[in-house]
């Protein structure tokens, strides 16, 4: 699906036809954002024919890469970033960006919340018919500001996910402390995997954004680098939070095994007490199990009560001894 915004002469134009959009590309004063969601073959051919993008960049955009990257070419910069979703497990959505002198092209398969937010923000300003575009960081004055807006909104989507992971870990900690151990270990390992996956993408994107901040990349003006340094500060904070969560998980697992061992020890302790109390019963019954005449056969019912009485008495004596020794 093709969608585009043209920032020209203080106005915002929205076009859904590639031909209507491309005619504004020749004027370097115009800033163009083209968003391709699940693009068709014709739209992909347009990228090759009209923008002369390298075949490798097109292939990287079409086929999933599973890692962030940045590549510089003569007339554009190719960037791959990832939107992160969290619903019990971490999933990723690849966003490919072609960044040129007066254009930014976003290429992705599924809808991205960050791009939806930016589209809605531009539409609200467009509806006001105002010539002041400062509300979106003055995108009309540079494609680098447009690139900043896209990346900034994408990274800001990470903060709620980090908070959800933190809340999930806190809930698991409470379960461990309350000895609700059923399936906790599986949940801990699942969250560990989520955090490691999330942290892998964040750490790689940190390097990418650091390059945008510090390396002399064409089409990014010196005065704009401060915006990318702000993004770097945000993603650094996210990376630190994820590192803390990653370090906490081993202690949770250790606490789990400690609570599990404690519960197991209590069970063994109870069983040991019952076995100790039952020792007199086993001795008496095993003694009369050696082909000896049972008291019941010789003294009738009185013999039976005598046997049960002796057994009960010795069991009580064992219980008193255990109490006296403070073993229970």
Verify that 225 and 305 share a domain, yes or no. Answer: no
Sheet of 77-87, strands arranged across: 11-15, 2-8, 31-37, 103-108, 89-99, 77-87, 69-72
**What integer pLDDT is reported at residue 131 of this predicted model?**
47
Distance CA 51, CA 61 (A): 14
Verify that 163 and 25 share a domain, yes or no. Answer: yes
Please give the C-alpha separations between residue 2 and each of 40, 59, 113, 123, 153, in angstroms, as whole numbers.
Answer: 9, 19, 17, 16, 21
Verify that 114 and 191 share a domain, yes or no. Answer: yes
Verify that 111 and 212 share a domain, yes or no. Answer: yes
Distance CA 227, CA 149 (A): 9
Whichever domain contains 108, its CATH number is 3.30.460.20
| pLDDT value at 314 more than 80 | no
Distance CA 87, CA 144 (A): 33
pLDDT band at residue 289, thresholds of 50, 70 and 90?
Answer: low
Q: How far from chain centre, in Å, is Cα 305?
A: 69
Q: Is residue 109 part of a domain?
A: yes
Verify that 213 and 317 share a domain, yes or no. Answer: no
14-23, 146-155, 232-241, 317-326: which range is least confident on average? 317-326
Q: Is residue 290 part of a domain?
A: yes
Verify that 57 and 163 share a domain, yes or no. Answer: yes
Where among 228, 259, 290 does a domain terminate? 259
Q: Is residue 266 part of a domain?
A: no
What range does the domain containing 287 cover? 278-324
Instruction: Report the domain count for the chain.
Output: 2
Verify that 135 and 31 share a domain, yes or no. Answer: yes
**What integer pLDDT is reported at residue 180 of this predicted model?**
58
Is pLDDT larger for residue 261 or for residue 49? 49
Q: Is residue 166 part of a domain?
A: yes
| pLDDT value at 68 more than 50 | yes
* DSSP one-letter code for 219: T
Q: Is residue 238 part of a domain?
A: yes
Q: How far from chain centre, in Å, is Cα 296?
A: 72
**What integer pLDDT is reported at residue 295 of this predicted model?**
62
69-78, 146-155, 268-277: which range is least confident on average? 268-277
Tokens, residue 302: 């009185």
Give yes or no for a contact between 47 and 21, defined as CB atoms under 8 angstroms apart: no
Verify that 91 and 218 share a domain, yes or no. Answer: yes
Where among 205, 230, 259 does a domain terminate? 259
**What integer pLDDT is reported at residue 33 of this predicted model?**
93
pLDDT band at residue 159, thresholds of 50, 70 and 90?
Answer: very high
Q: How far from chain centre, in Å, is Cα 137?
A: 29
| Average pLDDT value for the chain | 82
210-219, 259-268, 282-291: which range is least confident on average? 282-291
Q: Is residue 271 part of a domain?
A: no
Q: Is residue 265 part of a domain?
A: no
| pLDDT value at 276 more than 50 | yes
Verify that 85 and 9 share a domain, yes or no. Answer: yes
Distance CA 103, CA 46 (A): 14
Give 100-127 as a DSSP string. -SSEEEEEESS--HHHHHHHHHHHHHHH
35-49, 84-98, 105-119, 279-293: which range is least confident on average? 279-293
| pLDDT value at 287 more than 70 | no
Verify that 168 and 213 share a domain, yes or no. Answer: yes
**What integer pLDDT is reported at residue 288 of this predicted model?**
62
Verify that 120 and 253 share a domain, yes or no. Answer: yes
Q: Is residue 270 part of a domain?
A: no
Where among 204, 232, 259 does a domain terminate? 259
Verify that 163 and 106 share a domain, yes or no. Answer: yes
Exposure of 239 in the CB half-sphere (CA atoms within 13 A):
14
51-65, 69-83, 287-301: which range is least confident on average? 287-301
Does the CA dihedral 154-79-50-28 come out positive or negative?
positive
Helical ranges in the chain per DSSP H: 18-22, 41-51, 55-62, 113-127, 143-156, 158-177, 184-214, 225-277, 279-287, 295-299, 301-324
């Amino acid at each position: 699906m093709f969608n585009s915004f043209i920032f020209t002469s203080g106005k915002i134009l929205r076009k859904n036809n590639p031909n209507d959009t491309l005619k504004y590309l020749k004027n370097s004063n115009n800033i163009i954002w083209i968003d391709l969601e699940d693009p068709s073959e014709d739209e992909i051919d347009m990228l090759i024919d009209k923008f002369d993008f390298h075949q490798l960049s097109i292939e990287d955009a079409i086929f999933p890469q599973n890692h962030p990257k940045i590549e510089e070419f003569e007339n554009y910069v190719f960037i791959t970033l990832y939107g992160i979703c969290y619903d019990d497990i971490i999933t990723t959505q690849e966003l490919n960006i072609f960044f040129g002198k007066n254009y930014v092209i976003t290429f992705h398969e599924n809808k991205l919340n960050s791009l939806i937010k930016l589209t809605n923000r531009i539409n609200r300003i467009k509806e006001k018919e105002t010539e002041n575009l400062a509300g979106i960081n003055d995108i009309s004055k540079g494609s680098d500001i447009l690139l900043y807006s896209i990346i900034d909104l994408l990274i800001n989507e990470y903060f709620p996910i980090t908070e959800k992971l933190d809340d999930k870990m806190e809930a698991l900690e409470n379960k461990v402390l309350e000895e609700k151990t059923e399936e906790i270990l599986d949940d801990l390992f699942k969250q560990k995997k989520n955090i490691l996956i999330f942290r892998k993408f964040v750490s790689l994107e940190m390097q990418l954004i650091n390059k945008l901040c510090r390396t002399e990349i064409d089409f990014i003006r010196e005065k704009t680098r401060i915006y990318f340094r702000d993004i770097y500060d945000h993603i650094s904070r996210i990376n630190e939070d994820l590192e803390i969560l990653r370090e906490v998980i081993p202690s949770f697992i250790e606490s789990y095994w400690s609570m599990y061992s404690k519960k197991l020890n209590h069970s063994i302790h109870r069983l040991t007490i019952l076995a100790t109390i039952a020792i007199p019963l086993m001795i008496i019954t095993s003694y009369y199990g050696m082909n000896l005449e049972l008291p019941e056969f010789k003294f009738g019912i009185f013999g039976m009560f005598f046997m049960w009485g002796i057994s009960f008495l010795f069991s009580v004596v064992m219980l008193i001894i255990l109490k006296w020794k403070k073993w229970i």
